[in-house]
Amino acid sequence: MTELDVEIRIPEPEEVRNLVIQEEFVWLREKGTERKVRLHDYAQMYGIPHLYEHIMEKLQEKSHTVLSSVLRDRVTQAGGAMEDLVVLEVGAGSGMVGKALADMGVKYITGIDIIPEAAEAVKRECPGVYENYYVEDLTNLSETAGEALSSRGLNCIVCGSALGFNHIPTRGWATAFNAIAPNGWIAFNVQKERWEDKGSDSFATWHPWVAETDIFEIVHSHDYQHRFYIDGRSLEYVAIIGTKRANIPES
């Protein structure tokens, strides 16, 4: 793996014990100065070449390969091929999921993320993976990007680890989901605890379309370990593969 220009220091256990995922952090030392950076501060993470990839490797993150593999299995079992997918990757970040998809045969991937540093990281670290990569707010999509998505013939949407904590609001997700052709593939993952929750803070409460079988049909779900928390706990996720039946009504 490429050497970093900064030194990563993992916090002592008492500094991070039982932190929720949004508050996890590491210490970065560069030019004699140490600073704290949260793992979910993506602008800072992506701004340093290969930093996010290094930290995810230290924490044994698996979602980029698991989600892509589970999608591949469902597509091939249905008689399709990864080469036939025209993918929209939402919350594409620095390209880890996109690269995994490309390695499995996907030729046409359009990425979209709201963070400019993510697009810069993709240019540096994943050249050639995406045919287009848009820095856009899905709740206020530009005319140029909207026309590009609607005309591309998208038949699959993939979202790696960006739906579960409402990084992508339902209205923005609807814009992306509705750009996919009917019967297209839908692949995303979510923290297992949030997926199984039946209360007011559940995934289904945030994203009611997931329970509407006339809109979205679940084909397969797969439990797995996303990665470790920094304090050593196991962080469990669920990969969800399904097909689109109809558009999500846009409010």
Specify the CATH number for the domain of residue 72. Answer: 3.40.50.150
Cα–Cα dist 90/168, whole Å: 9
Burial group, residue 4, by CB count within 10 angstroms (0-12, 13-18, 19+): middle
Q: What is the pLDDT of residue 1?
A: 58
Residues 35 and 109 in one domain: no
Spatial contact of 104 and 75, defined as CB atoms under 8 Å apart: no
With cut-offs at 50, 70 and 90, classify the pLDDT of residue 61: very high
Q: What is the pLDDT of residue 189?
A: 97
Give the residue-averaged pLDDT of 14-24.
95
Beta strand 108-113 with 132-135: parallel, antiparallel or unpaired? Answer: parallel
Q: Looking at the predicted structure, is the pLDDT value of residue 166 above 70?
A: no
Give the strands of the sheet with 7-9, arranged side by side. Answer: 7-9, 25-30, 33-38
Number of domain units in the chain: 2
With cut-offs at 50, 70 and 90, classify the pLDDT of residue 186: very high
Residues 36 and 103 in one domain: no
Task: Quote helix, strand, coil % in the chain, to nearest 5.
Answer: 35, 25, 40
Residues 46 and 139 in one domain: no
With cut-offs at 50, 70 and 90, classify the pLDDT of residue 164: confident
Within-domain flag for 229: yes
Residues 19 and 132 in one domain: no
The encoded tokens of residue 29 equal 């030392």
Residues 155 and 171 in one domain: yes
Among residues of the chain, what percentage have pLDDT more than 70?
A: 98
Give the residue-averaged pLDDT of 123-132.
97
The encoded tokens of residue 39 equal 């793992």
Cα–Cα dist 38/35, whole Å: 10
Q: Can you give the C-alpha Rg of the chain in angstroms?
A: 18
Q: Looking at the predicted structure, is the pLDDT value of residue 19 above 70?
A: yes
Within-domain flag for 214: yes
- Collapsing DSSP to helix, strand or coil, 237 comes out as strand
Name the more confident of 164 and 24: 24
Within-domain flag for 249: no
Q: What is the pLDDT of residue 150?
A: 96
Q: What is the pLDDT of residue 201?
A: 83
Residues 114 and 177 in one domain: yes
Burial group, residue 32, by CB count within 10 angstroms (0-12, 13-18, 19+): exposed
Q: Looking at the predicted structure, is the pLDDT value of residue 251 above 80?
A: no
Give the residue-averaged pLDDT of 203-229.
96
Q: Looking at the predicted structure, is the pLDDT value of residue 198 above 70?
A: yes
Structural domain containing residue 15: 7-58
User: What DSSP state is assigned to residue 181?
Assistant: P
Residues 68 and 185 in one domain: yes
Average pLDDT, the chain: 95
Within-domain flag for 110: yes
Q: Give me the helices (H) in the chain, please.
A: 13-16, 42-47, 51-58, 63-77, 96-103, 116-125, 143-151, 170-177, 192-196, 203-206
Residues 24 and 126 in one domain: no
Q: What is the pLDDT of residue 4?
A: 87
Q: What is the pLDDT of residue 69?
A: 98
